[in-house]
Amino acid sequence: MKVTILGTGLVGRTIAAKLFELGHEITIGTRNVESTLNREDKDGYGNPPFKEWYKDNQEIKLQVFKVAADQADLIFNCTNGQASLAVLESIGEETLNGKILIDLANPLDFSNGMPPTLSPVNTYSLGEQIQERFPNLKVVKSLNTMNAYLMVSPTLVKGDHNVFICGNDDGAKSRVKEVLNSFGWREDLIIDLGDISNARGAEMLLPIWLRLWGAFGTAEFNFHIQRNH
């Protein structure tokens, strides 16, 4: 499958490497190929510049967002949540129509310092914003509630724990479940919350996720929903 990953950060790199290992043809999207490859500084989270990672991942293509998305069978949105809509606008409806987009971005707003707030929030979400702006794109929100490494290696955390999924198109959700299975997520650990309005709940887990990260001093944890049936 031809998979496009929008985003050159830790999440984009991690998902890209895993899908490449699984045998898919991968293109990563960025704003400007040259400046991304010339960047010298670590990102805001202390991750090495993209070119360091790219040295060991040369078979993965790097293109501007629109070119990267053009040929894709499946797209992952791994961009900064405050920039996701602008990135998708730069790709355009014509390219996006009919495609599946796995949205794992969080609309974290750091403009007022730490801890970040969410925008949009409560009665709206980034997942819904994207779906509303691009009605013929099949948006599936998933994987945004955990650390990047865990997304593609669920066994990094011991025992059973869950990944959420939501979206309006059942066929798209089935495809995304297959991708999650290929990452190691067992069927019974994938919780389908329903339509895309459930992205509100998934995104609003971020404030508690960030506090747990601070309390534990590690990102190797996840949510586990315990139930009787």
Ligand X SMILES: NC(=O)c1ccc[n+]([C@@H]2O[C@H](COP(=O)([O-])OP(=O)(O)OC[C@H]3O[C@@H](n4cnc5c(N)ncnc54)[C@H](OP(=O)(O)O)[C@@H]3O)[C@@H](O)[C@H]2O)c1
Q: Which residues bind ligand X (CB under 6 A)?
A: 7-12, 30-31, 36, 43, 45, 78-81, 83, 86-87, 104-106, 108, 144, 147-148
Instruction: Judge whether 78 and 166 are in contact, CB under 8 Å.
Output: no
30 or 222: whose CB is closer to ligand X? 30
Query: Residue 205 burial by CB count (10 A; 0-12/13-18/19+): exposed, middle or buried?
Result: middle
Question: With respect to ligand X, which residue has the nearer C-beta, 21 or 43?
Answer: 43
Q: Where are the beta strands (DSSP E) in 67-220?
A: 74-77, 100-103, 108-109, 117-118, 138-142, 163-167, 190-194
HEC letters along 57-101: CCCCEEEEHHHHHHCCCEEEECCCCCCHHHHHHHHCHHHHCCCEE
- Looking at beta carbons, which residue is closest to ligand X? 9
Nearest distance from C-beta of residue 6 to ligand X, angstroms: 7
Taking a C-beta distance cutoff of 8 angstroms, is the pair 104, 142 a contact?
Answer: yes
Spacing of C-alpha 87 from chain mean position: 14
Instruction: Give the nearer residue to ligand X in terms of CB position, either 58 or 228.
Output: 58
Q: Which residue has the tokens 């999440």?
A: 11
Nearest approach, Cβ of 45 to ligand X (angstroms)? Answer: 6
The nearest distance, CB 228 to ligand X, in angstroms, is 29
Q: Give min distance, CB of 36 to ligand X, in A.
A: 5
Comparing CA positions, the residue from 74, 97, 79, 73 lying closest to residue 29 is 79
Nearer to ligand X, 144 or 222 (CB): 144
CB of 193 to ligand X, least distance (A): 17
Task: Give the nearer residue to ligand X in terms of CB position, either 52 or 170.
Answer: 52
Buried/exposed 39-60: b ≥16 CB within 10 Å, e otherwise: beeeeeeeeebbeebbeeeeeb
Shortest reach from residue 65's CB to ligand X, in Å: 8
Task: Output 151 or 172, the one with its CB closest to ligand X.
Answer: 151
